[in-house]
Structure 1
Amino acid sequence: MMRNKNIKSTVAIVAMLLIFVSCKKDFLELTPRGTTLEDNFYKNETEMMQGVISVYDVMQWGTTGGYTMKMPLLSAASDDCWAGGSSASDQPNWVAYDNFNMSSFVGPQGGLWNKNFSGINRANLILSKIEKSTVLSAGFKSRAVAEAKFLRAYFYFDLVRWFGNVPLILKELTPSELYTQTQSTPAQVYAQIEKDLRDALTGLPPVVSAAEKGRISLGAAKAQLAKVLLFQNDNTKLAEAATLFEDINRVGNPYGYSLVTDYAEIFNPSNKFNSESILEIPHSNNAAWGDWGWINGGEGNVGTQFIGMDSYVGDTYSSGWGFCPVTLDLVNALKNDPRFAATIIDGKALKATGATYNARYQNTDYFIKKYAPLKAYRSTIGTPEQNWPINEIEIRLADTYLMQAEALLRSGGSATRAKELLDAVRARVGLASIPATLDNIYAERRLELATEGHRFFDLVRTGKAVAVLGPLGYKAGKSEYLPIPQTEIDVTKGVIKQNPGY
């Protein structure tokens, strides 16, 4: 991956100053053996590809402006998990999100804003370089443009869901433009996300080779576009979403997707990029990283370290930091479900076998299992806590099954097909058929996708957040969005406006 400490990640400062030019064999993994000034770079397809990889790189980041790893952070914001840690002051930004007590200064917004605009800035740069180049083959150019546009849409999708009104930046900015970027409405941002994803469909291959796992495929772009259409809550878009999902979900689809027979195997680190994985963010320990000042420079998944049991001594698991203990509400919802054992670690059961760990803040004795630190995968090089080679699956087939079932019911589509999709998700784990209602689909999403980072946005978009999260501090008209980072308001002298309620 690209490692560049010189990239400024706010909207106001967007210049990419340096880019590393030496790459290793595996896709998305780079070794910084030298640097080249940006003006002298991008002379050929090899260098241009490294620019594309620099955009992919940002997907891995989870520690820009504090610990803001997407999956555990969103689990803490939902009713799946608490914030945890050693105390309420350990990671106050997490605790503030957990109880919806953020301010313009306190909360995870700084890191999330910086990460996603860093990705957008890199995408804009490489799109500009590709457009100006005269040495690229047509095939290379088409695919590289498609990937950059997909990634720009990916980062904007996170921004619009987290912040609502955000600047819509689609080009490299000149110095005179740095502090003048006004915010666009969510509708305008979503329109651009749709445009970028539709453009991407024409340049992506149906599948990627084994050596390129981690690159975006046509199936991933269709799934992301369908998800974007669904999340806008515009019923006129749902029939198209269902059609896009059907192309991915149908038996014999051209992308090779199928449900993994054993539910637990979806999350086995030895089973990366399995047949159920549609959009997966790779992590490795090849970088042997050890720099606590720039954890994003490595390839590892620090979120894995975050959620492990503190000072754990026992079989199977490695010690972690005790964040994101699972709520008893989720435990009770899953306790009689076949997916419990693959989703949740029962700490009390481990203690009964002789294991020990420290009970930390908000401890429930239940912990996230799907991305837990496993002894077998603890790095022997670099700083182990920074080098967990455990991937993040952002979109998988059971997710798209349930999203299609929802889109069909909400658009007046085939209720029979919706029931087939819901039943398939349940049958995989030995559960009986149930009626295909929206409430049943939403309940199934919680159980099937528990602790994978979907629950919070699902509650918001389905209008259930007040009922479920209200007792935890969630307020309608405010808590749907994070506050805009105060630094952005200050540096633009008020051109960037704060969200309501903050």
Structure 2
Amino acid sequence: MIKNIFLCVIAAVSLSSCELTVSPTDKYDQETFWLGAKTAKAGLTGCYAALKDQYLFGNASPLWEESATPNAYNYDNRLGWNSVALGTQTPDLALFNGRWTAAYRGIGRCNALLDNIDKNQELSKPEIAQMKAEARFLRALLYQVLVTYYKDVPLILKEAELEQKDYPRTAHGEVVDFIVKELDAVAALLPVRYSQNSDIGRPTRGASLALKARLLLFEASPLLNPSHAADRWEAAAAAAKQVMDLNVYNLYPNYRQLFLPAGENSVEHIFDIQNVNEPNLGSSFDIALRQYNNAAPLKDLEDAYWMIDGKPRASSSFANSAAYDNLDPRFKMTVVYPGATFMGETVKANGSNTVFKVIQTGYTFKKYSIYDAAAVSTEQAQIGENMSEINYMVLRYADVLLMYAEAMNELGRLDAAVWTRTLGEIRKRAGFTASTAVAFPGADQDLLRTHIQYERRIEFAGEGLYYNDLRRWKLAEVAMNQVIKKFDGSVIISRSFNPARDYWWPISTTQIELNPNLKPNNPGWGE
């Protein structure tokens, strides 16, 4: 599979793809690099490798992003996420420059491949066409990241040229239109599935359509669609339905196992960041969750879980249950809590456990970690940074189902059939059996919206999606203006969110100094 390709060509990439668009190496120059099959494939691997930057999807970045929400706490301000959570961020924050730079580095690599791969003298035309389609998908993904956080961004479609350093920002809608058209074009070129195991991990038609659905859902949401224009919700629903109609994806039957090695590359996986248990080829989820505890779940997340009858605690017949009992089954498959068994030990909130730490809030996550209740070997207990093997799912089928349900609800068309295929199936997979949890609750749009927003928070807890959900729903000004608490209700700190400024990230001070044509900055961030 493609995660093993990184092992084969990483040396070539490290020698030649860090700045493929600018500087020749001692063995290749820009003209000769793309002529051979091996080096061209290394160039494509460089495009994939860009996604593993710690400011994009690498290290434990999605996990730390969770800590900008009421779901988690990042006590050591890793990458600057606690500053975002507290509302004390400035345009100098490393995160703002880092994500921008990492995305454009990857875009530059993709542009270099697209501008030069046709010169190759060893690859067949079908191989070249496939590589170009993959690079176009990766470039579209990186632009989707940029428009999601920065709104207007320069649209650069050629390999690096000197004048690009002075490009102004392109209007948000123009970049979005480009991404949608690219993903439609690429969807027609990429296969529905691959026949060779060595190709697992490459983007497919479904990945292109699912990414389009995510982008269009963001565009349809209140942040960018305050007038609730129906055509935007129609486009989002149609894009999600295209993925569903491929009939190649399904929900993996075991929610906990989905985030373990045994569940990798399952029927639910649409596009992953491929990780390997080798130095600098994996993620850092294991050490972040085991030792650093720097994306520690908060009491607000525990309190957000409904009961096993599918109702909030206050209105549930299980309201008097002891803490952690009779909750949505996903709680114990997601969160490690005081009194639970983890890594062979009973969890002690005072921080006295010997092989893991939960001292920050009394909790940790277990998703995307190899750890659970069982004791682990010495080797497993010492997995370090960028060595965790479990792939991170950028796109998974449960997300597509909930995108479709949300768009259909906003159109007033979420009926029993849509519910059964989407939220109903997701809840059954989670382990709910009560009819009050899985049956259609009726055609009340506001009630259904509550169910959808609950499902997105809980189904994807610890996966780094909730921050952008709160932003696009325009709910961040409520959810992210509050005190945060440990497991016992003791206050950690008060957070702040400025709705006049914080819904969009600034262009960093560094980028403005390099290119004054990026002005004006987003509202509230100065020039």
User: Given the alignment, which residue of 42, 46, 53 partners 1:50?
Assistant: 42
2:364 and 2:119 mapped to 1: Cα distance? 50
1:63 and 1:389 mapped to 2: Cα distance? 19
Report the CA distance shift for 1:400/1:473 in structure 2 as closer, same or farther (over 3 A): same
Aligned partner of 2:298 in structure 1 is 327
Higher Rg: 2
2:171 and 2:353 mapped to 1: Cα distance? 50
> What is the deviation of 1:470?
2.6
Q: Say if 2:96 is the partner of 1:96.
A: no
User: Given the alignment, which residue of 271, 275, 290 partners 1:279?
Assistant: 271
> What is the deviation of 1:459?
0.9
5+ residue gaps, structure 1, are: 20-33, 290-297, 309-319
**Higher mean displacement: 133-142 or 211-220:** 133-142
- Partner amino acid for 1:499? N
Aligned partner of 2:177 in structure 1 is 191
Kept in 2: contact 1:258–1:397 (CA 8 A): yes
> What is the deviation of 1:146?
1.5
> What is the deviation of 1:37?
2.9
- Partner amino acid for 1:410? E
1:381 and 1:307 mapped to 2: Cα distance? 11
Report the CA distance shift for 1:112/1:218 in structure 2 as closer, same or farther (over 3 A): same
Report the CA distance shift for 1:67/1:201 in structure 2 as closer, same or farther (over 3 A): closer
Report the CA distance shift for 1:384/1:171 in structure 2 as closer, same or farther (over 3 A): same
> What is the deviation of 1:453?
0.8
Please give the secondary structure, in 2, of the residue aligned with 1:184.
Answer: coil
RMSD: 3.0
> What is the deviation of 1:245?
2.1
1:10-21 alignment, distance < 5 Å: 15-17=21-23
- Partner amino acid for 2:90? S
User: Given the alignment, which residue of 367, 390, 400 partners 1:370?
Assistant: 367
Report the CA distance shift for 1:240/1:45 in structure 2 as closer, same or farther (over 3 A): farther
Report the CA distance shift for 1:84/1:358 in structure 2 as closer, same or farther (over 3 A): farther
Kept in 2: contact 1:406–1:418 (CA 8 A): no
Q: Say if 2:281 is the partner of 1:299.
A: yes
Query: Per-residue CA shift, 1:64-122, capped at 9, x if unaligned?
Result: 8x99743112201111111123xxxx647122012121101125112211111111111
Aligned partner of 2:3 in structure 1 is none
> What is the deviation of 1:162?
1.4
> What is the deviation of 1:272?
1.2
1:63 and 1:329 mapped to 2: Cα distance? 26
Q: Say if 2:499 is the partner of 1:476.
A: yes
Query: Per-residue CA shift, 1:372-417, capped at 9, x if unaligned?
Result: 3638698689983331112101111111111111111223445233
Q: Say if 2:187 is the partner of 1:214.
A: no
> What is the deviation of 1:54?
1.2
Please give the secondary structure, in 1, of the residue aligned with 2:292.
Answer: coil
1:6 and 1:347 mapped to 2: Cα distance? 49
Query: Per-residue CA shift, 1:293-316, capped at 9, x if unaligned?
Result: xxxxx21102432232xxxxxxxx
Please give the secondary structure, in 1, of the residue aligned with 2:28.
Answer: strand
1:86-125 alignment, distance < 5 Å: 91=78, 93-125=80-112
> What is the deviation of 1:254?
4.2
Q: Say if 2:43 is the partner of 1:81.
A: no
Q: Say if 2:240 is the partner of 1:249.
A: no
- Partner amino acid for 1:428? R
Give identity over the alignment, percent: 25
Q: Say if 2:445 is the partner of 1:445.
A: no
1:52 and 1:377 mapped to 2: Cα distance? 36
Please give the secondary structure, in 2, of the residue aligned with 1:279.
Answer: strand
Q: Say if 2:282 is the partner of 1:258.
A: no
> What is the deviation of 1:125?
0.6
Q: Say if 2:398 is the partner of 1:407.
A: no
1:5 and 1:47 mapped to 2: Cα distance? 10
1:164-243 alignment, distance < 5 Å: 164-175=151-162, 177-208=163-194, 209-233=196-220, 235-243=230-238
Please give the secondary structure, in 1, of the residue aligned with 2:157.
Answer: coil
Query: Per-residue CA shift, 1:312-346, capped at 9, x if unaligned?
Result: xxxxxxxx212011010101222411001111011
5+ residue gaps, structure 2, are: 1-5, 306-323, 483-494
Aligned partner of 1:425 in structure 2 is 426
User: Given the alignment, which residue of 125, 139, 158 partners 1:138?
Assistant: 125
1:41 and 1:6 mapped to 2: Cα distance? 8
Aligned partner of 1:292 in structure 2 is none
Report the CA distance shift for 1:377/1:179 in structure 2 as closer, same or farther (over 3 A): farther
2:236 and 2:161 mapped to 1: Cα distance? 37
> What is the deviation of 1:274?
1.2
Aligned partner of 2:14 in structure 1 is 4
Report the CA distance shift for 1:379/1:353 in structure 2 as closer, same or farther (over 3 A): closer
Aligned partner of 2:513 in structure 1 is 490
